[in-house]
Amino acid sequence: MECSGCAVRDLIVEFKMDGDLNNQVFPDIIEFIQSRTLKLEENNRYFTLRENDAKDFVDYSIDHLDITKMSYKIPNKDWQPFYKIEELFKVEWVDSVIRNEQVICYYQPIVDKNNKIYAYEILSRFLNEDGEILYPGQVFSAAKERGRLYALDRICRMTAVKYAAKLDNKKAFINFIPTSIYSPEHCLKSTNEVADRLGVNPRNLVFEVVETEKIEDVNHLKKILAFYKARGYQYALDDVGEGHSTLQMLEDIKPHYMKLDMKYVQGVTSDKEKQRVALQFLEKALEIHSIPLAEGVEQKEDFEWLKDAGYQLFQGYYFGKPLPHPLEYK
């Protein structure tokens, strides 16, 4: 059965009304609501509408109701003030991106200390209906606004695995958002099936924990990683040293790879604080048998400093920008 969070169905919007004016006129709009509503709790002033009907209701509300006393919410999101609902409608285009799987991938090389390609990170890029590239940040922000991160993350993982199959025997690093996975057994089933169908060696897939969202439930993350590990996949912790990535997180999940955030990579040669952080996380990575990887390398001197310090893998524009084909196959 398809996960409800992964399916791009009609968006259901729930409304809540308070205030004297709204209470007075509410009986007058019940007929409108009842003809379109999915659920009506008249006494509590709660009701739900499909998105197209919700747009009509918004137009009506602006002229006839006190919108300062109204709020709305969509599945998997908190209540929002009514005036923000136009932001929800403006990014409706992201549903088509997900539904039509308008996703391609680029490859960025990951090299060893001898500057030889060890792996590629597979990065999602998105297309509009005219085939033009959309900024990833724009797409993920729109998906988050509409509660579609689950569905977007799923098609990105599946597409990335398809691109990984073209790498022969090279490793592929694939991002995923932990908060987009309810149940590993259900949410990751399609990703696993694609890998099996294409004959991808599980040990060649490295799933990166992307901490664009705060990871509050470490036990849930451990369940996800246990699912990957049990099927022979490896995993990496991204953006270490930044945000919510901590020494404790490294200790808790013991990733196969530790990726030092570019904030502590760029300019590390001349910055004592960046050097301290880089060495601190290097020591922890080696302690837990995690391979240390520095990302965002742009200058030769930073590469040399990190290499001399003990970092084993490197990624960044100094070695190659993301390209629509693997660098060594040009």
Provide the pLDDT for residue 66: 93
Q: 202: which DSSP letter?
A: G
pLDDT digits (tens, 9 = 90+) for 139-191: 999 999 999 988 999 899 999 999 999 998 899 999 988 766 666 666 577 88
Q: Where are the beta strands (DSSP E) in the chain?
A: 12-17, 39-41, 46-50, 70-73, 80-81, 103-112, 117-127, 133-134, 171-176, 205-209, 234-240, 257-260, 291-295, 313-315
pLDDT of residue 183: 66
- Name the phi and psi angles at 293, rounded to 5: -130, 130
Question: What is the number of helices (H) and of strands (E) in the chain?
Answer: 12, 14
Q: What is the DSSP letter of 125?
A: E
Give the model's pLDDT for residue 43: 67
Rounded (to 5) percent helix, strand, coil in the chain? 45, 20, 30
Per-residue pLDDT reduced to its tens digit, 5-63: 566 788 999 999 898 888 888 887 777 777 777 777 766 788 889 999 999 899 888 88
Residue 84: exposure state from Cβ atoms within 10 A (0-12, 13-18, ≥19): exposed
Torsion of CA 308, 312, 315, 317, to 10 degrees: 30
Main-chain dihedrals φ then ψ at residue 87, nearest 5 degrees:
-65, -35
How far apart CA 266 and CA 106 sit, in angstroms, is 23
Pairing of strands 257-260, 39-41: unpaired
Instruction: Domain ranges for the chain, please list them.
Output: 12-90, 93-329
- Of 56, 147, 132, nearest to 94 by C-alpha is 147
User: Greatest CA span in the chain, whole angstroms?
Assistant: 75
**What are the structure tokens assigned to 244, written together?**
């919510």
* Per-residue DSSP letter, 323: B
In this chain, the answer to whether the domains covering 12-90 and 93-329 adopt an identical fold is: no
Contacts of residue 131, Cβ cutoff 8 Å, sequence gap at least 6: none
Mean pLDDT of the chain: 88
User: What's the whole-model pTM score?
Assistant: 0.87
pLDDT in tens, 174-233: 998 876 666 666 657 788 889 999 999 999 999 998 764 467 778 888 888 888 888 899
Write the CB contacts of 165 (distance below 8 Å, at least 6 apart in sequence). 198, 199, 200
CATH of domain 12-90: 3.30.70
Q: Which residues contact 213 (CB under 8 A, 6 or more apart)?
A: 177, 178, 179
Residue with tokens 């999940």: 253
Block residue for tokens 């391979």: 291
pLDDT(107) > 90: yes
Q: Are 215 and 179 in contact (CB under 8 A)?
A: yes
**Which one-letter DSSP state was computed for residue 66?**
-
Task: Average the pLDDT over each of 79-83, 186-190, 232-236, 275-279 and give the range with the smallest value.
Answer: 186-190
- Token reading at 215: 């990871």
CB atoms within 10 A of CB 43: 6
Whether the CB-CB separation of 316 and 295 falls below 8 Å is answered with yes
Decide which of 3.20.20.370, 3.20.20.450, 3.40.50.2300, 3.40.50.300 is the CATH code for 93-329: 3.20.20.450
Token pair belonging to 264: 């502590």
The Cα 181–Cα 150 span in angstroms is 7
Q: Would you state the pLDDT for residue 222?
A: 86
